[in-house]
Amino acid sequence: MRWLSFLWRIGMLCGLALAGPSAWAAHAYAQFGDIKYPPGFAHFAYVNPDAPKGGEISLVSPTRISNFDKYNPFTLKGTAPPNITGLMFETLLTGTMDEPTTAYGLLAEDVSVAADGLSVTFRLNPKARFHNGDPVLAEDVRHSFETLISPQAAPQFRTYFSEVKGVRVLGERVVRFDFHRANAELPLIVGSLPVFSRQWGVVNGQRKPFDQIVLDEPITSGPYRIGRVNFGRDITYVRDPNWWAQDLNVRRGMFNFDRITFKIYKDNTAQLEAFKAGEFDYIQAFIAREWARSYTGRRFDRGDLVKRELAHGNAGDFQGFLFNTRLPKFQDPRVREAIGLAMDYEWLNRQLFYNAYERVRGYFVASDFEARGLPGPDELALLEPLRSQLPPEVFEREVPLPPYTSLDPDSGQTLRDNLRRARDLLAEAGWRYRDGALRNERGEVFTIEFLDNSGSMGRVVTPFAKNLERLGIRATYRVIDFAILQKRLDVFDFEVISVRWPGSEAPGTELLDRFGSAAADTEGSSNLMGVKHPAVDALLDHVVTARTRPQLVAALRALDRVLRHQHLTVPHWFASVHRIAYRAGRFEQPAAMPRYYQPESWVLATWWASPDNLNPAPGRRR
What CA–CA distance (Å, rounded) separates 496 from 322? 5
Distances (CA, A) of 501 to 2, 132, 321, 418, 549: 9, 36, 12, 27, 22
Instruction: Give per-residue burial for 86-106: e unless 16+ CB within 10 Å, then b.
Output: bbbbbbbbbbbbbbbbbbbbb
- 51 or 185, greater pLDDT: 51
Other beta carbons less than 10 A from residue 432's beta carbon: 13
Burial of 231 (0-12, 13-18, 19+ CB in 10 A): exposed
DSSP string of 482-518?
A: HHHHHHHHHTT--SEEEEEE---SS--THHHHHH-HH
Q: What is the pLDDT of residue 608?
A: 98
What CA–CA distance (Å, rounded) separates 147 from 153? 7
What CA–CA distance (Å, rounded) separates 350 from 366? 21
pLDDT tens per residue, range 435-459: 999 999 999 999 999 999 888 899 9
pLDDT tens per residue, range 116-175: 999 999 999 999 999 999 999 999 999 999 999 999 999 989 999 999 999 999 999 999
Q: What is the dotted CATH code of the domain comprising 321-427+445-465+479-571?
A: 3.10.105.10
20: left (phi over 0), alpha (psi -120 to 50) or beta: left
Cβ(549)–Cβ(32) below 8 Å: yes
The answer on pLDDT for 266 being more than 70 is yes
For the chain, how long is the longest CA-to-CA vector? 77
The answer on pLDDT for 22 being more than 80 is no
Of residues 490, 568, 408, 288, the one with CA closest to residue 560: 568
- Residue range 581-604: mean pLDDT, rounded: 95
pLDDT tens per residue, range 210-262: 999 999 999 999 999 999 999 889 999 999 999 999 999 999 999 999 999 99
Segment among 3-7, 21-25, 447-451, 508-512 with least mean pLDDT: 3-7
Which DSSP symbol is given to 194?
Answer: E
What are the two backbone dihedrals, phi and then psi, of residue 576, each rounded to the nearest 5 degrees? -90, 0
Of residues 56, 202, 208, the one with CA closest to residue 132: 202
Cβ(419)–Cβ(406) below 8 Å: no
pLDDT tens per residue, range 327-383: 999 999 999 999 999 999 999 999 999 888 999 999 999 899 999 999 999 999 999
pLDDT tens per residue, range 268-292: 889 999 999 999 999 999 888 899 9
Q: What angle do CA 215, 217, 220 make, to 5 degrees?
A: 145
Query: How confident is residue 414, by pLDDT bands cut at 50, 70 and 90?
Result: confident
Give the SS3 label for residue 272: helix
Which DSSP symbol is given to 539?
Answer: H
pLDDT tens per residue, range 132-144: 999 999 999 999 9
What CA–CA distance (Å, rounded) separates 290 from 269? 9
- 400 or 561, greater pLDDT: 561
Predicted TM-score (pTM) of this structure? 0.84
User: Residue type at 607?
Assistant: W
Cβ(364)–Cβ(507) below 8 Å: yes
Note the Cα 416 to chain centre separation in Å. Answer: 36
Q: What is the pLDDT of residue 621?
A: 44
DSSP string of 156-167?
A: HHHHHTTTEEEE
Query: How confident is residue 11, by pLDDT bands cut at 50, 70 and 90?
Result: very low
User: Residue type at 37?
Assistant: Y
Q: What is the pLDDT of residue 4?
A: 41
- Residue range 376-403: mean pLDDT, rounded: 94
